[in-house]
Amino acid sequence: MQRLLVQEWSLGRIVRAVDGRLVSREIDVGAPKGVTTDTRDLQKGELFFALRGERFDGHEFVDDAIRAGACGVVVEDRSVLSDESAPAIVVDDCIAALGRLGHALFQQSRQNGLRSVAITGSNGKTTTKELAAALWGIDGKVWATPGNLNNHIGLPLTLCAIPLNCDHLIVEMGANHRGEISDLINQAPADQRIVTSIGKAHLEGFGSIAGVRKAKSEIFESGARATTAIVPHSERRELIPLNFPGNVFTFGTESGADIRVVSVESAPDDGLGQMHVRIDLGFDVWSLALPFVGSHNATNLAAAVATLVGSHSKFDRDEVQQALTDVELPGGRLRTVSVGPLEIMDDAYNANPSSMRASYRAFQQWCRNCERKTVAVIGDMHELGERAEQAHRSLAQLLTSGSTLSSVIFVGEFGPAMVDAADGASTTEVLAITELDDIVEWLREQGSARVFVKGSRANRLERIITKLDAHF
């Protein structure tokens, strides 16, 4: 197991970093093995932060943490400790303290030579992160955001897990309200900062597309002359602050983009899906194969390649191609899997109107010249505010307006509205099914088919794939 930078820090040094007060009867307290906020997976020797949230209070689990072998706890109230001999760091706000520790570890890593990339955007953050991590792996040890740890808790946890002697850090930054990206980029003021896309995501919190742009552009705050901004070519004017002092690279399909996607072609159908992308770097044109589909992923690749060009590092096409060969998208993010007679495009992790349209185009591309049945299982899109019903109706009309789909199943609160909007729109069979077990049973009866699964996180549509896999 790789050694972490935080394992080089004594609790005394951590106390200073988090602006806290060490309370312990022990004279010599060693360094932690790591940092955690969850007693359920706490490993002996880790430091436990007792975070307070809307649905939980970590202070209720402090004794559990001590019994599980925590080297110490970070708390706002020492009185919750039944064992007063246990090392405790008392702070005003545990979440803020976690952020300060993450920032301190980031700063030391930077002093040690760490190069860093921060990524935000309405869609494509995780795919771009995985692609950038693969590319920078050519040049040394990479640490990237694990899973979906991209918010005010996830980012500092990612920073607290930076390996010792790490060469490159690739982090996601997510938000659903103004000011969140600003806080995150101040914790990890990366050398290169990417906005992958601007779309209709979290409109309930941002209010409008203009609000989305304003929030995402916070990633360019506190930039220096050495900072590189990487943005969609069509969004440069709206995203880059007038006083941004660093370099700007744009990517996209448009003429004038610094990193331009020239063409995207589907590879011969092998049942899973691949594509070939030609990218104009300005000084060379690379033809690269990606082990997944979706033309929007070509621009995600362009954004990742822009980090190489923007850093003035020397990479050749063959090295990049080899790195891309092994990229695997996490579950729920446009990956293609075979389950029995079904071939499934799993994009169930999250959804908004923009990502729905992009993913559906990828499914259409995947199903081109396919003779199997084609089915979509569509869950609700959340956080759309007053635009929610109309957005779902428009989606239903899009899905049933062509000949791609044999059947579509709508799941969730807006299922009836989507069925109503799609009624009579085409020859596509339209269903509203509430229970996931009923959806699984229906899919089992279809025989050979290609299936598109997508919805917001709360729908948990990935359970359909798990249940199908268990059956077959």
The per-residue pLDDT for 332 is: 66
Contact 161, 142 (CB under 8 A): no
- Dihedral sign, CA of 453, 457, 461, 462? positive
pLDDT of residue 191: 97
Sign of CA dihedral 301, 302, 304, 308: positive
Question: Was domain 113-325 assigned CATH 3.40.1190.10?
Answer: yes
Q: What is the pLDDT at residue 281?
A: 95
- Angle at CA 435, nearest 5°, toward 433 and 436? 100
Sequence ranges of the domains in the chain: 5-94, 113-325, 335-471
Tokens representing 295 are: 């033309």
pLDDT of residue 203: 67
Look at the block and give the residue holding tokens 């708390």.
75
| pTM, full prediction | 0.83
pLDDT at 109: 97
pLDDT at 114 (0 to 100) = 97
State the CATH class of domain 5-94: alpha beta
Distance in angstroms (rounded) separating the CA atoms of residues 86 and 267? 59
CA separation for the pair 28, 84 (Å, rounded): 16
Amino acid occupying residue 393: R
Which of the listed CATH numbers 3.90.190.20, 3.30.460.80, 3.40.605.10, 3.40.50.280 matches domain 335-471? 3.90.190.20
State pLDDT tens for residues 3-60.
999 999 998 899 999 999 988 755 456 789 999 999 999 999 999 999 998 888 999 9
Residues of the chain with pLDDT under 50: 27
